[in-house]
Amino acid sequence: MTDRRPDASGDAHGPPGPGFPFGTPFDAAASDDALLDAVGTLPAEQPAPDGALETDMTLWAVVFAGGIGSRFWPLSTPERPKQLLALVGDRPLIAESVGRLAPAIPPERVLVLTSADIADALHAAIPDVPAANMLIEPRPMGTAAALAWGAQTIADRVGRRATFVAMHADLAVGYPDELRRVLKRAAVLASTEHALVAVGAQPTRPETGFGYLLPRPDPAPPRDGPRPVARFVEKPGAILAEELIAQGALWNTGIVVAQAGHVLEALEERTPELSPGLAALAAGKLDRFSGLIQAVSIERGLLERSDDLQMLPADFGWDDVGTWASLRRVRELDDTGNGVWGPAHLVDASSCVVHADGGTTVVLYGLSGMLVVARPGLTFVTSLDRAAELNPLLNALPDELANRTRKDPLQ
């Protein structure tokens, strides 16, 4: 029997299974079979530390934690959204995200942007974050508006020159010490260069679900230093993704570091979807701000339009916990590449993801590339390929079975 549960630390990841070279740089000339094998994002080994960056700068964080997370149906529900699931470690994703920031950014300097329907449950998972730091949206406003609200809150509390980290609650991080070191480096760059700093990761495949940071040409680029961004491309097609990687682009990790005032100025100048409401936000009139703006993402509304964007390469074992398939990259794998959580028997099975919740035992025989999610009263089986897009399935299910997730934006 395999009863493979995450390591208690919540930040450690087991060795890759054979044939899955985690962290292998993408080679556009590689064979199709090799590309299918190179599914990993986490690096093969922890980068050698060069010492923590010493700085007296007081850092804040804005963590985006809205939505149910429909891509993790049937485990994610309105009562237990994705952020409350222990998908990578023993703790919920939101607790992992807040916990790994400390001590560089303690809970009292973390703002959590979320929705009213899940705010109480989220706060219960992160009780060290003050209740006043739970910023509850009056309606789904998009991540650019959430960024503006977080930046304005920090500016009101400690000043417009305060530097903060904006990030999502669904990141997998292999090496939290290295993450904190990178955030400190990015903070120094953001404050000295008055720039938006996007943290980038080395691509391992032509992923079409991520954003890409293409640096400006440099005859002698720094090995791991910051570089100006010539172009930001959100979710390109496969061919364009290959071309961007060949030109030295990095994946956007979804982590942006900047001064609060600079973020607000940039949104005022470059994001017309928000600019009509920023004065109301500054005056503390959140409902009016919400009613004057249009929802837009940070990537589309700001990063694609910025000419002062800097990218900082990082190697802290990043991955986006966005779909069931991503769990094969962030979970410990068995000898045949299966990522398993909970009680299960796998015989002649390979490259599968199994999540057995609530004491249910799963038996898998003679299958490859499958997803099995079992919880009390419901078992879901599909291929990992089909699991990447569940909207057609949820739209075809009765409301009570789909948990009304068809009405929620995917997270």
DSSP string, 194-215: T-EEEEEE--SS--SSSEEEEE
The whole-number pLDDT of residue 124 equals: 95
The whole-number pLDDT of residue 274 equals: 98
| 397, two tokens | 């299910």
pTM over 0.75: yes
Neighbours of 121 (CB within 10 A): 17
CATH code of the region 59-320: 3.90.550.10
Q: Which residues contact 3 (CB under 8 A, 6 or more apart)?
A: 342, 343, 344
pLDDT for 292-314, tens place per residue? Answer: 999 999 999 999 999 999 999 99
The whole-number pLDDT of residue 394 equals: 86
Within 227-301, residue ranges assigned H as helices are 238-246, 260-270, 278-282, 286-292, 298-301
| 61, two tokens | 């964080």
Domain locations in the chain?
A: 59-320, 324-407
Mean pLDDT (10-residue bins), the chain, 411 residues: 40 33 35 36 42 62 86 83 84 94 96 93 96 94 97 97 96 92 96 94 92 92 88 96 96 97 97 97 97 96 95 92 83 88 93 88 95 91 89 87 53 43
The whole-number pLDDT of residue 56 equals: 55
